[in-house]
Structure 1
């Protein structure tokens, strides 16, 4: 294939990939952030200690993380059809991508929130702060650099998952690589697609690292 033939396909594939990753990352944050915070709050010694709730959330998160994405995608086909009306295409891929990313991000959130200095939590409680105040004023702001780093990791993982989803009809760069590269034995298309994926991942990682450094620097200046 010539570059003139590849270019429009590549542009559309990039748009599909960004569409899938963007929406699934947003849903992962909306679902994973509260789950991760709850895992910390309901744990032993937490602000709202509840062993039953903690174990229940932990089991759900662990199951979600342990299922390989390709199996998850197939298992969710009926649910995907119920939600978006189809099981193929970029919109359909958002469902399994989001379902797979929520528990992944939840564990990263849990790790980030656990790193917050307990002395700050105790200080807010001593001043009469409620659990919601502790979460809003201490846990989330103090763990923000680590949360952004976790989100960056999640987005990078989603890019890889989206390529896998593309190989089975979801569109995007994975579909381009399989349909026009692998099946047609066109090494050029494969290499171009691979280069674009590497560039996208590198850009996401760079932006995430810059954001983490900026947030960490601002946090240190406020502490001083």
Structure 2
């Protein structure tokens, strides 16, 4: 009855009767040489890595999660982040102990979305759950955890449609550290565009005494 009232559709291609079809799931698969190093226009001073271009089913899934409340798509995105983290750990680019810090969001936006999706994706990716089932061993290890340490201040504008310079002005001084973190830190974001949010977040974390080793994004535009 619920399916008749609210038909279930794939968040990537609109295929019926499934939240996320196998074809779209394949577009999120992390290849052996991924994540790739990218160069945003604003350099945060640390390596920036991305799991893929902000296009196709990846883009549609991220938009659906953030703008349309499709929390059922958090798990496939967490699968991709899990695999990307696993690669970076296996390559020796990252090591433990390591604190994963989600990029900041506004408190009002998080309330509208039923919680911060980037934080939920990060938590699921590193949790001792079935995220890695069928995709290799779990990366969960002592010293690996998630801390929601950053938040955007009130009145920060949505960055969609802003130019690179406007994004930088919009975010400057707007990232606030709400929890202390120290030691090695990986900043995780959903999308890296100009790099303004990543640069400001890295600066705030470093000012607070953290050693930010890299930024990892689910997508880059």
User: Do the structures match in fold with TM over 0.5?
Assistant: no
User: Per residue, is there more helix in 1 or in 2?
Assistant: 1
| Structure-2-length-normalised TM-score | 0.28
